[in-house]
A and B are shown apart, each in its own frame.
Chain A
Amino acid sequence: MVMKRNLYLFVLLIIAVQNVVARGVIIEPSTYIKTIFAGNPPEPNVLWLTGEVKQGVKKILGHKYHKLRVKYWKNNEKTVWILEEIGKEKYITTGIVVNNNAQIEDVSVLIFRESRGWEVKYDFFTKQFDGLRQKADTQLSEHIDAITGATLSVNALRKQARMALYLDEKIRQEKK
């Protein structure tokens, strides 16, 4: 009986510790930028979310983006976007790298503030985004498998990936 109770307590302790450890800064956004650009990051650019772009983002997220402008870092090979979207209650900050072929090269959860759904930060999940493109309807070119118990966080990351590809397309069009 005592053994059983101790086991329950141990399991509860593990869950509590896991929740605390799972939350917070995983990689500082500035460190992420430096890592992606091999220690030599370019100056950040800003894209104002106005007019058509604002509407496009609203369509992807299902609501207005919480900022009026988005910062991005760009060199000749890739563009890095740091985006924020609410999972259930709090923002998940994610770094997304889009290469010159308009394909996702990396998705990394940088700051996770929610108490649940932290599984999305692991490679087994984020690797699914690698190589994905944007379809004509702004959907991702491949299906992303969900994680039981982390549906809202998964949805947030899907939306962030779509938004990064959409914004990347917009800055390419601007350049032309």
Chain B
Amino acid sequence: MKKYAKRKNKKHYWLTKIHRYVGLFGFLTLLWLAISGLFLNHTDELRLSQKFTNNQLLLDLYKVPVPSFTQGVFIKDQWIFGANNHLYLGTQKLTTVDQLSFVSAVLKDDLLLIATKQQLLIFTQTGEFIDSLDVNASVKMLGISTHDNVVLDTDKGCKVVNSALSGTSQCTDKNHMDWVQTTEVPIQIRNALSLVPVISLERVFLDTHSGRILGIAGVYFMDFMAILLILVSVSGLIIWIIRKKTKGKKTLNDTD
């Protein structure tokens, strides 16, 4: 009888140990599954499908090539920028000419002037192509001079564009110019153009919940964790039953 109780206690001991360590090991995963599960249950209310990530680590995990053309100029409620060797005015693609590398843009006398590395392109405000001006140098910056002329900073020095926007001449002083500064184009704009594949937060939660974000290894890891959680649940139940039985016997013995 004693032998049987000892064996039972040993079994109980191992079961408790397994339960404890597996529980500790699976704790973080369980926590994440619970949190991501909560978010997934309320994707509509939280609008997770309409929110996008720009986290570099996540984009790397999804193997999204983040383009290096994120610089643009914001003029009259519209972003002007270059992407994939094309020029954009908001979401409208400008010109059919390709291989254009955007440098900067400025609005002058109701005309939209866009400097590429090789040319100055002239557009109407609605994006209609007017003309191009060959600069014969590599353009670095675009700006406006103190005399209100369009100026270009190039590898062959500063060039001033004539008032008819049909030719250039060398500047006398490069220092007193108002150079246009470019800023980063918001990811929403690039997403709207499908320049960056859209990764919604809903997809991120779903893929981290299932482990798919780490590929097939992630899925197997989640399977493994699921088996462990089953083990924890079953071991916990068995431990509870054993303890309850032991407690019942103890109470009976005590009353005896």
Contact = CB atoms under 8 A, between A and B. Distances in A.
B130 A67 contact: yes
A71 B162 CA distance: 14
Interface string A38-64: 000001111000000000000000000
A29 interface: yes
A46 B129 contact: no
A30 interface: yes
Interface SS of B by simple majority? loop
B94 to A, nearest CB: 11
A176 interface: no
B41 interface: no
A87 to B, nearest CB: 13
A45 B166 CA distance: 7
Contact of B131 (A28, A43, A71, A91): A71
A68 interface: yes
Interface residues of A, number: 14
Interface residues of B, number: 14
A4 interface: no
Nearest to B164: A46
A79 to B, nearest CB: 15
A66 to B, nearest CB: 6
B28 interface: no
Interface string B116-134: 0000000010001111101
Nearest to B165: A46
A44 B167 CA distance: 7
B128 A46 contact: no
A68 B130 contact: yes
A89 B129 CA distance: 18
B166 A68 contact: no
Contacts of A43: 166-167
Given A68-B128, A69-B130, A71-B131, A91 B97 contact: yes
Nearest to A65: B129
Interface in A76-113: 91
A71 B129 contact: no
Nearest to B96: A66
B95 A66 contact: yes
A71 B165 CA distance: 10
Interface in B92-148: 95-97, 124, 128-132, 134, 136
Interface of B: 95-97, 124, 128-132, 134, 136, 164, 166-167
Interchain residue pairs A-B with the least CB separation, the first 10: A68-B130, A44-B166, A69-B131, A67-B131, A46-B166, A69-B130, A67-B129, A44-B167, A71-B166, A66-B129
